[in-house]
Chains A and B, each alone.
Chain A
């Protein structure tokens, strides 16, 4: 990777032409039930989303197999979507249910229907180039707060990004960007990658040299934070110092992350759940989405709780916008040059690759458990003193050992 002068080149690679296998969130479910059919541009094509007579949501390819008409510009009739071109009716399972001007529906009249799931008040579709059903253990977990009156309603925001969606997934292991971009001070950062799940555990505190705006936070996938208002007399100890954040986040599959957050809001502990998810439009474009619910503080009305959630969502959005500024101006890089304090980028990309391979072709090491941790609360001086004491107690230097050791 380095030339004869030691200069290293960027391997730009190429985005995969197939799309990730997995559940993808298309948005909050309720708006898809409003009025007529809805259009979603995703997976290199266009989808039509519509509610049948019982309110169940269905997703079909938007382009009618008759003469290519756009079903998203059609009409829901009973439990079918009728094409605006020649009024062919298509049911939620993809079968043509009626052609008003014809005696018979041709036996091959079937279009692609996408398997759907509603969970957490959100609509998901299953994407799989191999056309298989999802395994039982590959699903979207239930978020109890999404069903509870003790929590606010969801905010929901979207942003179309002209980049390959791997850019947002890379962030799950990027501890350094929380420090430099969020002005967060991670004291603990851990990843566990295993199976179809990629988890991130994080504790941050306010930087001693920077007092963030109370109520802001960064966790999970958040991007660049505002440099904005700090406390006056910055650096003084007071009620607002040591604002801590605890974040436990995980991708369940290639595109949907749930981030459980606990942080200080004006000195009061707050619980929030942040969804960071996306779906691909093309290999070079994706739609990024984020949603927030917050647990109601005692005495807050539902409207006030929704306002708190909206304020937090706006802050998260500012962060994501700054990430987007990076992604839309950077080069794709398949051979990142890492330092010893970087997160496990190659292991994360190896985990992510599983969604782009046929199920039978996934090697064992791609889904094997990998753990990475940086814990800055471990004081170096105290550790070094303990090592010296141990060595002195053994009355001799340790033997040289290879840099990776089998343990246990």
Chain B
């Protein structure tokens, strides 16, 4: 499971659990060639889905103390 929040346009926070990290195809491709996930800056597909949700209004963009 992955939790995402955007407190503003410029901000994005993502909390992964261990299962989600294991299931990510991009992480799997890169760890297979020796990378470690903490040093992988992001998963492009995850980021794209967050951006799309924010633009569509499915993911609200607001500081944490609102709603």
Contact = CB atoms under 8 A, between A and B. Distances in A.
Contacts of A197: 36, 38-39
A387 B55 contact: yes
Contacts of A364: 17-18
A373 B5 CA distance: 11
A374 B10 CA distance: 5
B12 A373 contact: yes
A406 B56 contact: no
A395 interface: no
Interface string A366-408: 0011111111101010011011001100100110111111111
Contact of B14 (A365, A371, A375, A387): A371
A383 B38 contact: no
Interface in B4-22: 4-5, 7-18, 20-21
Interface residues of B, number: 43
Interface in A195-236: 195-197, 199, 201
Residue in B20, B38, B63, B67 whose Cβ sees the most chain A Cβ within 10 Å: B38
A287 interface: no
Greatest chain B CB density within 10 A among A137, A365, A387 is at A387
B28 interface: no
A402 B38 contact: no
Given A195-B38, A250-B38, A407-B50, A340 B8 contact: yes
A403 B10 contact: no
Contact of A368 (B8, B17, B66): B17
Interface string B42-67: 10001001100111111110111111
* Majority secondary structure, A binding face: mixed
Contacts of A22: none
Contacts of B15: 368-371
A56 to B, nearest CB: 29
A405 B59 contact: yes
Nearest to B17: A368
A199 B15 CA distance: 15
A319 interface: no
Given A373-B11, A376-B10, A407 B4 contact: yes
A282 B8 CA distance: 41
Nearest to B15: A370
User: Which of B4, B15, B36, B58 has most A Cβ within 10 Å?
Assistant: B15
Contact of A398 (B12, B56, B62): B56
A195 B18 CA distance: 10
8 contacts: A197-B36, A365-B17, A368-B15, A369-B37, A372-B11, A378-B10, A398-B57, A405-B60
Interface of A: 137, 190, 192-197, 199, 201, 250, 339-341, 344, 364-365, 368-376, 378, 380, 383-384, 386-387, 390-391, 394, 397-398, 400-408
